[in-house]
Amino acid sequence: MTIELRDTLRLPCGATLPNRLAKAAMSEALGTMDARVTPKLVKVYERWAQGGIGLSITGNVMIDRRALAEPGNVVIEDERDHELLTAWARAGQSGGGQVWVQINHPGKQTPKGLNKETVSPSAVPFRKDLQMMFGTPRELREDEILDIIRRWGEAARICKKAGFNGVQIHGAHGYLVGQFLSPHTNQRTDAWGGSPENRRRFVLAVYDEVRRQVGPDFPVGIKLNSADFQRGGFTEEESLAVIAELSARGVDLIEVSGGTYEAPAMTGATGPKKDSTVAREAYFIDFTEKVRQVCSTPLMLTGGFRTPSGMKAALNSGAVDVVGLARSIAVEPELPKRLIDGKAPLFPIKPLITGIQRIDSSGLLEVQWYTRQIQRMGKGKAPVPNEHPLKALLVYLLASPIQLFRARRVRAS
């Protein structure tokens, strides 16, 4: 039987997604400077919900106020924002789809000066050309590791109470879960490091704690790297082993991605793709085919999809169960309805080029340009698909130091 984009998908926990299209997590940076929820988040998720998306995954919600990834992050560590969280959940469900909260801890991957300190499994600095932006972290103590695991579960419980349909553990793109998984950033010699089995102990403990606090019937997904694309980093073989363990524990949806801030494969910035990958559109579909050999857990794939036919081909290949949309839905929030009707995007995604090679290859411009479009929707405005990339870069360069200063001052008071 042919799978269509409009078809439902039943998850292992028993919940059902209304179609096969998901909004992947993207940074909104719409929280307050003291990391609270705002009405702008309610507004933008209502806009996406009305566009027909089956599942919206929020961007990068943190579990500890001492550990932000960027100014404008929301933190969920208590119930002080319960009313606005409930409004956010209802807005995300207003079109008939589900909305999940992506919960995360950045570890060392946070700009210098934003937090009082950064922590990681080991005190491994960034590569030299990024050390002006990112500081060397302090190695976590075991009691701190256990506290962070508890916080992940507590954040998930609060999200469930507020009415969200599920949560996604962020284990990709070089954040704390990824730092534990990678032998490059995890050089510990205790039970949390060393062998692949020890390095994956953290992510398994996080999943177990989240599941303990939300129960068996609440969707829990995870976003994982296929690999870090760094020498001495997390490999495909290790990723497959982690996925097999999580699948055996009952995880509901695995989203496949790849890369870190030091090697941003998730933006398509790591070099040319194989002809077979280009033809099939998705960046990491070769890896999901390998995943399918080790588990039957539903798989979500984000990155590279361009056409309804390419998306349907991926679904019917058996390698993908959910198609993730990110940049395309930031400029065209009604895109899911078009795709379900078999229509192509009105604004095909193209690389953002400034002519400055270091910027164009870093992935930074991509993040900031699309974040600006999301922030426009949060203000009730329409995205601007033809906005010049240099404008977004200039605004970011001017605003970033001010935001860092304001965030530090507010959090220090």
Assigned domain for 384 exists = yes
pLDDT at 273 over 60: no
As given in the structure block, the two tokens for residue 242 are 């982690």
Is 255 in contact with 242 (CB distance < 8 Å)? no
Does 262 fall in a domain? yes
Residue 328 sits in which domain range?
A: 9-412
Do 314 and 281 touch, CB atoms closer than 8 A? yes
Q: d(Cα 349, Cα 140) in Å, to the nearest integer?
A: 40
- Per the structure, the count of domains in the chain is 1
- Domain with 99 in it: what CATH number? 3.20.20.70
pLDDT level of residue 267 (50, 70, 90 thresholds): very low
Q: What is the pLDDT of residues 44-85, one digit of tens each?
A: 999 999 999 999 999 999 999 999 999 999 999 999 999 999
pLDDT at 258: 62
- What is the per-residue pLDDT across 305-344, written as a single tens digit (0 to 9) for each? 999 999 999 999 999 999 999 999 999 999 999 999 999 9
Q: Worst-scoring range by mean pLDDT, 72-86, 163-177, 272-286? A: 272-286
Q: In this structure, is residue 4 part of a structural domain? A: no
**Cross-strand bridge partners of residue 139:** 120
The length of the chain in residues reads 413
Alpha-carbon span 204 to 197, nearest angstrom: 10
CA angle, 12 as apex, 10 and 14 as ends, to 5°? 60
Write the burial class of residue 208 (CB in 10 Å: 0-12 exposed, 13-18 middle, 19+ buried). Answer: middle
Higher per-residue confidence, 307 vs 280? 307
Q: Return the percentage of the chain with pLDDT > 90, whole number.
A: 75
Share of the chain above pLDDT 70, in %: 89
Whether residue 2 lies inside any domain: the answer is no
pTM of the predicted structure, to 2 decimals? 0.91
Instruction: List pLDDT tens digits, range 138-166.
Output: 999 999 999 999 999 999 999 999 999 99
Residue 246 domain flag: yes
Query: In this structure, is residue 291 part of a structural domain?
Result: yes
Q: Is 240 part of a structural domain of the chain?
A: yes
Q: Which of 272, 254, 257 is nearest to 326 (CA)?
A: 257
pLDDT at 351: 84
Cα distances (Å, whole numbers) of residue 98 to 45, 162, 340: 11, 13, 17
Asked whether residue 288 carries a pLDDT value surpassing 50, the answer given is yes
